[in-house]
Each structure stands twice: as structure tokens, then as C-alpha cells.
Amino acid sequence: MVGKLDEAFRFQETALSLRAQRQQLIASNIANADTPNYKARDIDFNSALQNAMTKGTPAAAAPMAKTAATHLNGANPNATANGIPLLYRTPATGTADGNTVDMDAERNQFTDNAVRYEASLTLINAQIRNMLTALQGS
């Protein structure tokens, strides 16, 4: 029974987790809008969600090879904590200081991601309400 409940909510849970990670990346981009040479980062949400749902491991999450015993075990700096590959945003216009953050695009992405996060929460709430209604009716 618990397995079926887990499976019923797994998609939305995964989507919410990825949306939260993406929101942090976008917020970081906005916070560093005035930092010289800062490169705006993002994730490819659709491919990350597809990988997570098929339980595939993205190539960027593969462990680094140690060529000597004294090498440290390190995380891939081009991936999130969950191994999702981080991508650089392509700037629409160049800047003199090398910063690639476009505040208008970042604000739009931030708002779009937040709205989609809220929509996922609404869907989960509706699923829970439907299950409660079904349980109370029996």
C-alpha cells in the first residue's frame, strides 16, 4: 500500500525537488548580477526530470577517476548535489565586466519557475484531497 502511495506522488515530489533546486540557482544568478565575470547557471529541467523519473544517472554525475591514492574525493563542480548537470546561460548581450546575468531574463525565469512550483503543490493537494474523499466514502 505504501509503495503505491509513493509511486502516486513520486512524479510531483521529484518535480518539486528539481524546481526548488532551480529556484536556488536562479536566485544565485540574481544575487550575483553585479559580480564581475560571474557566469549565470541553470539546469535543463525537462531532461533532469526525465532522468530522475527513469532513475538514470546523468553523465555529469559519474564519479571522477582518481589517478593517485592521495587525490581527494571531490564532487563534480559542474553538477548539483543530486548530480544534475549545471549549464551556463548564453547571454543575449555582452557586458564589459564579463557577467552573463540578464536581470530581465532571470526575473522571468524566477517567476515562471515559482508559478510552476505552486502549480505542482496545487496538484499534490488535489491528489491528497481526492484520496481522503475516497477513504471517507468507503
DSSP code of residue 81: T
Strand partners, 87: 42
pLDDT in tens, 67-101: 777 766 655 556 665 678 899 988 777 788 889 99
Q: What cell does 60 get?
A: 555529469
pLDDT in tens, 27-56: 999 999 999 999 999 999 999 999 888 874
What gap in Å lies between CA 127 and CA 138, rounded to an integer? 17
The H or E element spanning position 41 is strand 41-42
Per-domain residue ranges of the chain: 2-57+76-91+100-137
- For residues 120 and 113, the answer to whether their CB atoms sit within 8 Å is no
